[in-house]
Amino acid sequence: MQLLKIFFFLFISCINRNSSEVITSPVVSKSISEQTEKIKISSSDTVFIEQNALIVKKNNRIRTYKNLVINAMALTTSLEIIDKNNFFLIYEYNASTTKVKDIYKYTYKDRLFLTFKETIKLYQDETGSKRLYFNQLEIDDQEFDVLESLGDTIQVSYQKSQLKDLIRLYDYKGKRIGDIVYRFSGFDRFVESPLSYSNDSIEYLDIKDVEKLNNTSYFLEQSGDFHEAVFLLEKIIKKYPKRIVAYLNLADTYWGLKNKTKAKNYYRQYIELIKESRIENKIPERVLERLKY
């Protein structure tokens, strides 16, 4: 998945810092006057930042979110487009010896949903990461301060930044549901994040609570974050091949991605497992209808 990037930075230097305490990474700066540049996804779909407001145009409908873009002392905001329905807002804090990236993933269909918030911290030669998933959290006119406080009671666990990065996953109630181990070091992932899910970037997913992870995947699918849901559900099925509901959730997710071939394949596997369990009367009507296509 190729990502198109646009960065919006305002630098204000007001603190004298010892260069030995500061770890820097490459950045591309743009002035406030340049923030009107747009990234066009299609003829009718556009996401961009203008005058410190996030503008989402989809199906000729325009929504303005005035409180999500912050450019202030030691805090900068960048917008990273994934596809016509998904994007990141990334907030980077640069004023202290601890560097912080807060990465918010949004999905937009007819409404804007925040699907997860990821925090990565870099302190001297150590990094720590966490990701908090949400249960169909719709964004309207929330202040940034409210979003910033989400998950702030969950602490990160630091490890040496040259080691393969480990990020802890939590559901919307703050329950730990798994860990992702990357092939990259913590330092490299801090610099490069957000990363796409590919066999080149993920070492493995360690599932801590399969039921809560499955429920999280369902909420992601319902919010329209299909790629994140696929990533989690495929890992669940690989480790728990008899978990019936995961096949249904994965089939529904691929249907949402308009990949009917894969959707039907998982619907058929779901039906086979249902029959083995002798609960055929539990098969949803949509499954049988979609298999006719």
Q: Any long-range contacts for 278-287 (C-beta under 8 Å, 24+ apart)?
A: 284/248, 287/248, 287/251
What pLDDT shows up at residue 70? Answer: 82
What pLDDT shows up at residue 46? Answer: 83
What pLDDT shows up at residue 9? Answer: 32
Tokens of 54: 């996030």
What pLDDT shows up at residue 255? Answer: 97
Q: Render each residue's pLDDT in the chain as its tens digit; 293 residues.
A: 333 333 333 332 333 333 333 322 322 223 222 333 444 444 456 888 887 888 898 878 888 888 888 877 778 889 999 888 899 999 999 867 899 999 999 998 778 999 999 999 999 999 999 999 999 999 886 778 888 899 999 999 999 999 999 999 999 999 999 999 999 899 999 998 887 655 578 899 999 999 999 999 999 999 999 999 999 999 999 999 999 999 999 999 999 999 999 999 999 999 999 999 887 778 999 999 999 98
Strand partners, 272: none
Domain range summary for the chain, segments of one domain joined by + = 4-13+24-209, 211-290
Domain topology for 211-290: 1.25.40
CA nearest to 85, candidates 103, 66, 59: 59
d(CA 176, CA 1): 28
d(CA 3, CA 7): 13
